[in-house]
Structure 1
């Protein structure tokens, strides 16, 4: 349910602005201003610095007004004098820090669980239906960037899946266990790759591909090829990444695009291939892949398919990634006028703002870059704090904005230092 932004409306009135006058100054419609104040929509990232200037508040104070607390009692006089507790709550920062510390402490247990995949220890083994619920839950944790929670449950879940494989009595049960194992391994890779354990990530991806093949699920095989790109990103072999994605997208199982699940598998491979092409500077190939992905998205509504988010909004996010890789200012500006919806997984939303922040910084739009990283943190703090692109952007912002309190605080939170 939309929450009215009473503080935002109060600030507008204090500046002597009607909704019509503010709309005129910002070159938007009065209805847009009304939707902002009603909490039904949010100003685009590129517009927020301009809105802050008109309201005579800092961008951080504007962000606070756009994200009111449940017990909000914001007054006009308090703007500019209060501390930024909503975004820099020390208790919240400590909680996130503890969650991320738990990821590192669990990694050795994940390694041991993999070492004993064919030699599981004795322990409980629940019905596959119950295990499937937990596998779905860990993938939700991955998509919502709840890495600390995900890490804590992974070792026991992987061990239980190993036991389930040992006691499977039929070929169908073996395939079901393999399917669940592939999805659990993907969840584990969600933290291994992002936290820099690249050797473990490569091992998890290999095991995921093997499990997907054992599950006899062509769409899961396609999903594993999508994830495999991480290995090529890590070793810098982008040509191999492109070949692997194109080969997977051309497989015989991905022909019937009228099936939304097939379309999603096919589209996601082209979506990632577009980014690879952009990274090697092949704009023509990148556009071709995006076109194929967009056609597939017409048949696949936004959703999560075999663990991969795909649909029209995901295409928009990858269009930004391609524009960033190609250093295309027009594409970046077009992307900056759009916001992903709250229904999109938090990790994907935060990645969009991280990418946009880096692009805005490269274009010299330093205030917009800061706003984007704040929005990424609002969407998925654990993902944002660990992302190397965030650290790079903030490190550079520290150099361009020395002494800027907001930038310094955000950089300290993310562990970034001036370069």
Structure 2
């Protein structure tokens, strides 16, 4: 039986060790509403769904994959994010939070980024960025490196919302902030992490050859793999370079970088290092991404990987969703539109808003609709949800 909204609410409430009364109080809704929702006899409206999601610390789309209000919240937050970084080089206001509290709040935001909870991170991004910048401006000595890392992490969470929702100019400005902060740190790991994120600019502009060159230079200046974090940071940069090289049509370079990433991952557990997931499973996901990026003649590799493997919970939701989006394209190219649609539905289970804003999904759903003359209701509903029809 299909899981309903109330079952998701109840499961998350129990994980957070909240009673129904606790949830009602935190969400500012009635206890009977919470009880009825969890039993499945009432469906919360958009404002109630958002309130319950906020109380549980998740985007409303996590509770109801058909929810479309996240886009409104993200776009409403973008001007404030832009204003916060307009004069990032100058110290104006003191931070509202002490460093320890800021570090904790940014850790929460990073977790939300990895879970593709864009509405929540967009809402918190301006204040996190402002406080992180304030701390960096007043830091000295050994504290500069930590403060720079907080700026990079805060800017990266904001960038996730800007980039995924098509604000590519703002995304590029946020990456400039990251590069400026990382340069203050003199930390090779942090600079490599920023180079990884900067690849978004080249991917968005489809300037793959220059992106490949920039990433190669970042690798030359990258950290020595002598700690787990340095190894993972370098490995992640090889993974990203492999994808950009594949988009540039350089299969040999792409495979060489994948091999380097695989070697670096072999001695590490799958995990999140400096805000980026890396390990054997992440490398396997990037094998799929490279095969799809190289074009239709290379999808056999992706199909082989997915035949007996799929990413598990050790992989953050956004990356799991990305795997299934890539697989949908591979299955569509292989002449299997039904299989492609199954992959897109699977992607939506993991990160609904990532799927809804992904340009490939709109393209592929349009093709699936054309190939299937008699469209199923679920396919039509999915296409309407992402705005493809």
Structure-1-length-normalised TM-score: 0.75
Kindly indicate whether the alpha-carbon contact (under 8 Å) linking 1:120 and 1:159 is maintained by their aligned counterparts in 2: no
- Aligned mates of 1:120, 1:166 — CA distance in 2: 6
Kindly indicate whether the alpha-carbon contact (under 8 Å) linking 1:144 and 1:347 is maintained by their aligned counterparts in 2: yes
Deviation at 1:304, TM superposition (A): 1.1
Give the RMSD, CA atoms, in angstroms: 2.5
Q: How many residues align?
A: 337
| Structure 2 residue 377 is matched with structure 1 residue 408 | no
| Structure 2 residue 386 is matched with structure 1 residue 386 | no
Question: 1:148 is matched with which residue: 101, 119, 125?
Answer: 119
| Structure 2 residue 263 is matched with structure 1 residue 291 | no
Deviation at 1:329, TM superposition (A): 3.2
Kindly indicate whether the alpha-carbon contact (under 8 Å) linking 2:85 and 2:177 is maintained by their aligned counterparts in 1: no
Aligned equivalent of 2:216: 246
Look up the SS of the partner of 1:299 in the other structure.
Answer: coil
Deviation at 1:281, TM superposition (A): 2.2
Question: 2:86 is matched with which residue: 112, 115, 118?
Answer: 115
Kindly indicate whether the alpha-carbon contact (under 8 Å) linking 2:65 and 2:352 is maintained by their aligned counterparts in 1: no
Q: Any gaps of 5 or more consecutive residues in structure 1?
A: 1-6, 8-63, 72-84
| Structure 2 residue 149 is matched with structure 1 residue 182 | no
Q: Any gaps of 5 or more consecutive residues in structure 2?
A: 11-39, 47-62
Kindly indicate whether the alpha-carbon contact (under 8 Å) linking 2:303 and 2:327 is maintained by their aligned counterparts in 1: no
Question: 1:323 is matched with which residue: 288, 291, 316?
Answer: 291
Kindly indicate whether the alpha-carbon contact (under 8 Å) linking 2:202 and 2:211 is maintained by their aligned counterparts in 1: yes
Aligned equivalent of 2:136: 165
1:241-288 Cα shifts (integer Å, max 9, x gaps): 11222222222x523x34221211111111111112211222222111
Aligned equivalent of 2:274: 306
Kindly indicate whether the alpha-carbon contact (under 8 Å) linking 2:238 and 2:261 is maintained by their aligned counterparts in 1: yes
Question: What are the within-5 Å matches in structure 2 for residues 1-400 of structure 1?
Answer: 64=2, 96-119=67-90, 122=93, 125-168=96-139, 170-251=140-221, 254-255=223-224, 257-326=225-294, 327=296, 328-337=298-307, 338-400=309-371
Deviation at 1:89, TM superposition (A): 9.9
1:287-324 Cα shifts (integer Å, max 9, x gaps): 11111110000122211111111111110110001111
Structure-2-length-normalised TM-score: 0.81
1:126-155 Cα shifts (integer Å, max 9, x gaps): 221111111111111111000000011111
Look up the SS of the partner of 2:85 in the other structure.
Answer: helix
Look up the SS of the partner of 1:234 in the other structure.
Answer: helix
- Aligned mates of 1:124, 1:155 — CA distance in 2: 12
- Aligned mates of 1:299, 1:306 — CA distance in 2: 17
- Aligned mates of 1:366, 1:378 — CA distance in 2: 19
- Specify whether residues 134 and 271 from structure 1 end up closer, same or farther in structure 2 by C-alpha distance, changes over 3 A only: same
1:371-418 Cα shifts (integer Å, max 9, x gaps): 10011000001111111111111111111123321110111111113x
- Aligned mates of 2:338, 2:365 — CA distance in 1: 11
1:345-396 Cα shifts (integer Å, max 9, x gaps): 0000000001111111111111110110011000001111111111111111
